[in-house]
Amino acid sequence: MTALKICVFGSGSFSTAMSFCLAQKGHQVVMLARSEEVARHVNEQHRNPRESVSFARLPDNITCVTSAASALEGAAYIVHAVPVQFTLEYVGKLRELIPPTTPIISTSKGIHSETLELMCDLYPRALGRAAQPMAFVSGPSFAKELLTRQPTALVVASASDTLAREVQELFSSSFCRAYRSRDVRGVEIGGALKNVIAIAAGVVEGLGFGKNTQCALITRGVGEITRIALKMGGEAETLAGLSGIGDLMLTCLGGLSRNAKVGIRLGQGETMAHILDTMPEVAEGVPTTRAAVQLAAQLGVEHTPIMCTLLDILDGKMAPKDAVEHLMN
C-alpha cells in the first residue's frame, strides 16, 4: 500500500495506540491534540506524556499538532478516537474542514447519553450530511497491549465492502489482524454495552466475590446486550464474536479497563462523584449505562436487570452489596 497521510482525532491512550498501529505500514500519521505539551512531547521525544502510554516510544512517522487545518490537510483517512459524549461538539467545530469524500474510521464506543444515538447515527448528524463514507473499528484491544505489539484481532464494520477492505489493510500488521463485517449496529452496540457490564463485573470484584459470581454476571450480561442488539437490527453472530463476547471478556476480566476499575472502586465503597473526579480518562460506561436502560425501554426490551440495577448503584439508590442480593432473588 502506498504511504498515506492519516489524521487521528484525539491524543488519549487509544488514539495513541491507533496511531501506533497505522504507523506500522509507513503512513504519515498526524494526531490532533488540544494540548501543546502533548504535541511537543510527541514531536520531540516521540512519546505521549499521558501516564497510561508514556512508556511507549512512538515511530518517527507519528507527529502531533493542535491545528485542525494542518492535521486534516491532505488526509486520506480520518480516525476518530474522541469519546462519544464529546463527539457532537468536537465534530461540529471541524465539519467545514472535513471533505465529504474523506472516510471516517470511528473507534469510539458508546451511546450518546441524551439522544441515545450510536456513532453511526451521531456522526452524520454532527457533519450535517448523511453520505460521508464511514467504518467502525471494535474488538478486544487494550491500548497498552497494542503499544507493546501483542497479537490482537479487531473487527472493521462498514456498509461499504470496499471501505472495509481498505481499513482492514490499514490496520493489518505483524501483530494486528482485522476482520470485516457488514453488521455496523451489532458491532457498535457490542462495543458500547460491554462497558456497562464491565462496570457491573467490577462491582462484583470490588465486593470481594470470585470468578463464579463474575462469570455468572458476564454471561447474563451477554443476554441483555444481545436482546438490545437484535432489536436494533444487529446479528446474533456478531455478538458471539470479537466485537461482542471477545471485547466483553477483555473489558470485564482483563485488568486494564477503566470501566471495570470504576466498578471495583464502587464495590469497595467509594462514591461515584469521587471516582469521576479522580479518573484521568473517560470511562464511557458511566453515561452509557443510563442511555442503555433508556434505549432498552424505548425498544421494548423489558428484561435488562443487570443494567437497571447498575443504574440504581450509579445513582446512589442502591448499595452495591444490596444489588447482588437483589439480582440473586
Q: What is the spatial distance between Cα 113 and Cα 36, in angstroms, rounded to a whole number?
A: 30
Amino acid present at 148: T
Residue 319: closest CA among 277, 271, 252: 271
Backbone angles phi, psi at 316, to 5 degrees: 75, 15
Cell 464529546 sits on residue:
86
pLDDT band, very low/low/confident/very high, at 256 (cuts 50, 70, 90): confident
For residue 173, pLDDT beyond 90: yes
Which residue of the set 5, 93, 144, 194 is catalytic?
A: 194
Mean pLDDT of 298-326: 95
Mean pLDDT of 149-176: 97
Q: DSSP class of residue 279?
A: -
Q: Give the three-class secondary structure for 115.
A: coil
How many C-beta neighbours within 10 Å does residue 169 have? 12
Question: pLDDT digits over 58-116, tens only?
Answer: 999 999 999 999 999 999 999 999 999 999 999 999 999 999 999 999 999 999 999 99
Is 194 a catalytic site residue?
yes
pLDDT, position 255: 86
